[in-house]
């Protein structure tokens, strides 16, 4: 049985870099986007079945589910890695934090975040780099995404960006004392100092990282291409605050006013 920790946060916020820095420690298996959360999520359908409703005491069915999930998650990686510590990455954990902490009250959840202007700037740059990619899903979307303002509004209203922001806002309200927000800007500019805080939060000894030579430990299918590219540079470098150039100063200031709580997490 392994110790399992979790990574879940905003898109375009250096979660892949975080996972690969974690994996520099030979004790840690850091996953790419994992299916463990979805196994749990699909299992929740049990509560809609006749089998659940036939249990005389519903709390017995609840205990059945929680015991099943505790054992399943704790043993999910036994045949996948010999490393003793697992950090499981899935963006959906932040939407299931209440259940996660019920299953594992002492669970450790790393939450990568980033100035929302930086997230949207990154999304816009991906859009410009891949103009052949069809972003819109409907005729209404086609009209909406003709400008950078429209595209930012679209991303803020939909998954993965808008949904993740809502989840993180609720996470901060209910569980701020249980999680560690890992700011992408800090991770990129001071990887060792930021990782020292991560190791302390995880209850592990500090590890000396090599930020100039970060191997790609995680392997991921790019289902979210082009916005979900998960190839890291081998050398960690500070993020460029280029959102004014990419989005325009006025739009950047509007976004900053609305989401100025994120850098303060």
Give the model confidence (pLDDT) of 59-72 as tens digits: 999 999 999 999 99
Residue 9, in any domain of the structure: yes
What is the predicted pLDDT for the residue at 229?
76
For residue 107, give its domain range: 3-258
Residue 263, in any domain of the structure: no
What is the predicted pLDDT for the residue at 25?
98
Judge if the upstream peptide bond of residue 125 is cis by omega within 30 degrees of 0. Answer: no
| pTM (two decimals) | 0.96
Total number of domains in the chain: 1
What is the predicted pLDDT for the residue at 123?
95
Give the model confidence (pLDDT) of 231-252 as tens digits: 899 999 999 999 999 999 999 9
Judge if the upstream peptide bond of residue 226 is cis by omega within 30 degrees of 0. Answer: yes
* CA atoms lying within 13 Å on the CB side of residue 166: 12
Residue 264, in any domain of the structure: no
* DSSP character string of 52-88: HHTSSSHHHHHHHHHHHHHHHHHHTTTTT-S-SEEEE
Give me the CATH number covering residue 247: 3.40.50.300
Residue 265, in any domain of the structure: no
What is the predicted pLDDT for the residue at 1?
76
Residue 144, in any domain of the structure: yes
- The structure tokens listed for 188 are 């990129």
What is the predicted pLDDT for the residue at 138?
86
Residue 185 contacts by C-beta under 8 Å, 6 or more apart in sequence?
Answer: 114, 115, 118, 238, 239
Cα–Cα distance measured from residue 16 to residue 194, given in angstroms and rounded to the nearest whole number: 15
Sign of CA dihedral 218, 221, 223, 228: positive
Task: Give the residue from 166, 179, 167, 161 showing the smallest Cα distance to 227.
Answer: 161
Given a cut of 70, the residues of the chain with pLDDT beneath it are none
């Amino acid at each position: 049985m392994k110790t399992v920790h979790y990574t879940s946060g905003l898109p375009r916020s250096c979660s892949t870099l975080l996972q690969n820095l974690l994996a520099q420690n030979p004790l840690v298996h850091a996953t790419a986007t994992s299916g463990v959360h979805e196994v749990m999520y699909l299992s929740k359908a049990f509560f809609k079945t006749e089998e659940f409703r036939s249990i005389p005491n519903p709390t017995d069915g609840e205990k059945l589910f929680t015991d099943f999930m505790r054992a399943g998650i704790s043993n999910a990686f036994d045949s996948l890695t010999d490393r003793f510590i697992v950090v499981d990455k899935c963006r959906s954990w932040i939407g299931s934090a209440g259940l996660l902490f019920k299953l594992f009250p002492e669970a450790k959840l790393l939450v990568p975040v980033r100035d929302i202007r930086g997230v949207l700037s990154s999304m816009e740059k991906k859009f410009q780099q891949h103009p052949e990619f069809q972003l819109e899903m409907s005729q209404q979307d086609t009209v909406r995404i003709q400008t950078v303002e429209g595209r930012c509004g679209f991303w803020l209203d939909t998954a993965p960006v808008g949904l993740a922001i809502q989840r993180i806002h609720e996470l901060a309200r209910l569980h701020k004392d249980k999680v560690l927000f890992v700011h992408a800007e800090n991770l990129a500019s001071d990887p060792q100092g930021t990782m020292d805080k991560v190791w302390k939060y995880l209850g592990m000894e500090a590890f000396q990282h090599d930020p100039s030579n970060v191997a790609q430990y995680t392997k991921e299918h790019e289902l979210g291409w082009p916005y979900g590219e998960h190839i890291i540079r081998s050398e960690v470098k500070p993020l460029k605050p280029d959102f004014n150039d990419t989005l325009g100063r006025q739009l950047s200031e509007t976004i900053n006013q609305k989401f100025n709580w994120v850098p303060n997490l």
